[in-house]
């Protein structure tokens, strides 16, 4: 596949914080419609990888191309970066805005939509995440699962070509996590490209085309879910999966 057919192309990136070397030569590609699951122990560098892709952290070596364009501060790169949506563990909603305003605000500022268009879009996206009846509420009155669904609707309003999820359900009780996974499944059916960092293996094994196991800042193993969960015999992966299963 040539470079332009990849939405995201990462070539041998390195990232340290002072003396702490966190990403140590990571390369990967994501194409349109592709879903990557990312697993690995706490502290292995998963969030740092996601943050580098989204331009929230700068890398020290290597290259990140978004639709063939280098991530730097040029105006085109800023525009290309708008194609990447990001869903965090802790929702990051604006508490003093209603649910609908959480979506229409960024639409008006970033996409320069009129009030009417932003509201129409906001309402249709809230319907998609099954929260239209909550649009006048404030985030403080919602459950964690509902907050995360609003956060997803807000990301969709930016019309991203790929969404990066960093442990989107780890702050939620299991039954609320399912609500969020149901929405992520809908996005998968729509063909949205996604990178999903999660410890919820049972969920991504039915969804991801490829799973990457990050170990100490490197991709130690990658493959389809069946290979990663049942066949790969990398000892650190085996230890990681065993610990996860013990916690279930």
Ligand X SMILES: Nc1ncnc2c1ncn2[C@@H]1O[C@H](COP(=O)(O)OP(=O)(O)O)[C@@H](O)[C@H]1O
Q: Is 146 exposed, middle or buried, given 0-12, 13-18 or 19+ CB atoms closer than 10 A?
A: buried
> Least distance to Mg ion from the beta carbon of 44, Å?
9
Q: Which is nearer to ligand X, 104 or 148 (CB)?
A: 148
85 is in the binding site of which of Mg ion, ligand X, none (Cβ under 5 to 8 A by kind)?
none
**Nearest one of 166, 145, 151 to 103, comparing CA atoms:** 151
Which of the residues 27 through 86 are near ligand X (CB under 6 A)? 40, 42-48
1 is in the binding site of which of Mg ion, ligand X, none (Cβ under 5 to 8 A by kind)?
none
How far apart are the C-alpha atoms of 171 and 189, rounded to whole Å? 25
> Least distance to ligand X from the beta carbon of 220, Å?
13
Residues 6+ apart with CB under 8 A from 244: 199, 201
**Nearest one of 39, 32, 41, 43 to 8, comparing CA atoms:** 32
Q: Which is nearer to ligand X, 88 or 138 (CB)?
A: 88
Size of the site for Mg ion (CB under 5 A): 2
248 is in the binding site of which of ligand X, Mg ion, none (Cβ under 5 to 8 A by kind)?
none
44 is in the binding site of which of ligand X, Mg ion, none (Cβ under 5 to 8 A by kind)?
ligand X
Q: Are 62 and 102 in contact (CB under 8 A)?
A: no
**Site of tokens 């470079």:** 3
**How many other C-beta atoms lie within 10 A of the C-beta of residue 137?**
15
From 15-23, 63-71, 110-118, 228-236, span contacting ligand X (CB under 6 A): 15-23
From 17-25, 46-54, 118-126, 230-238, span contacting Mg ion (CB under 5 A): 46-54
**x/- map, 192-231, ligand X, by CB under 6 A:** ----------------------------------------
148 is in the binding site of which of Mg ion, ligand X, none (Cβ under 5 to 8 A by kind)?
none
State yes or no: residue 47 binds Mg ion (CB under 5 A).
yes
Q: Which is nearer to ligand X, 64 or 156 (CB)?
A: 64
Residues 6+ apart with CB under 8 A from 154: 93, 102, 103, 106, 125
Residue in 7, 22, 35, 208 binding ligand X, rule: CB under 6 A: 22
Size of the site for ligand X (CB under 6 A): 11
SS3 for 236?
Answer: helix
Measured N-to-C along each axis, helices 99-110 and 144-156 cross at an angle, to the nearest 10 degrees, of 20
Q: Which is nearer to Mg ion, 46 or 147 (CB)?
A: 46
Residues 6+ apart with CB under 8 A from 114: 108
**Nearest one of 117, 190, 114 to 152, comparing CA atoms:** 190
List residues near ligand X by CB under 6 A. 17, 20, 22, 40, 42-48
List residues near Mg ion by CB under 5 A. 46-47
């Amino acid at each position: 596949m040539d470079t332009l057919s990849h939405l995201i192309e990462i070539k041998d990136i390195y990232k340290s914080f002072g003396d702490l070397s966190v990403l140590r030569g990571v390369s990967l590609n994501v194409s349109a419609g592709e879903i990557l699951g990312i697993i690995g122990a706490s502290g292995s560098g998963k969030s740092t990888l996601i943050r580098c892709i989204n331009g929230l952290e700068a890398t020290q070596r290597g290259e990140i191309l978004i639709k063939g364009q280098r991530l730097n501060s040029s105006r085109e790169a800023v525009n290309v970066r708008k194609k990447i949506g990001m869903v965090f563990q802790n929702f990051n909603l604006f508490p003093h805005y209603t649910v609908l305003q959480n979506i229409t605000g960024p639409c008006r500022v970033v996409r320069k939509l009129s009030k009417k268009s932003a509201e129409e879009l906001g309402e249709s996206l809230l319907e998609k995440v099954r929260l239209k009846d909550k649009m006048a509420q404030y985030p403080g009155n919602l459950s964690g699962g509902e907050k995360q669904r609003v956060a997803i609707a807000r990301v969709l309003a930016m019309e991203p070509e790929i969404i990066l999820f960093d442990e989107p359900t780890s702050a939620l009780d299991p039954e609320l996590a399912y609500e969020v996974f149901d929405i992520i499944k809908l996005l998968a059916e729509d063909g949205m490209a996604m990178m999903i960092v999660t410890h919820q293996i049972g969920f991504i094994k039915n969804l991801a085309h490829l799973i990457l196991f990050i170990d100490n800042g490197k991709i130690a193993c990658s493959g389809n879910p069946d290979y990663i969960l049942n066949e790969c015999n990398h000892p650190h992966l085996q230890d990681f999966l065993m610990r996860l299963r013990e916690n279930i």
